[in-house]
Amino acid sequence: MEYLEHGLALIITLLKFLLEAIAVFCILLGVLKTGLLAYRSKYDRSKNLFREIRLEFGMWLVLALEFQLGADIVATSLSSTFDSLGKLIIIALIRTFLNYFLTKELETQQKTKEK
């Protein structure tokens, strides 16, 4: 039984690392894509790309937040002490709060862009 628990702990650790790496990759990709848009806007004065830059980066941040929350949930399944559950609840509330309002802001910006 100890081998199974150790194996499960290893899988959970790897999954947590993978989810966190994906979140970092999302942020990096978002920075690169928005940097490209900003560079393009420097030479294309015909339109203001500021809103498009915010939308692009915001969508990547929302995606990264979701992966980070998933990593936190996976990590808590390994060490489900009262202390770690309390930390997860606080982190989950903060990330959910950020994700919710960022998504609302992006929806508003997208509607404004379409008009």
Q: What span, in angstroms and rounded, lies between the C-alpha atoms of 109 and 14?
A: 37
pLDDT digits (tens, 9 = 90+) for 7-65: 888 999 999 999 999 999 999 999 999 999 888 877 776 566 777 888 889 899 999 99
* pTM to 2 decimal places: 0.79
Q: What is the DSSP string of 68-82?
A: HHHHHHHHHHHS--H
Q: Which residue in the block uniquely carries the two structure tokens 């150790």?
A: 6
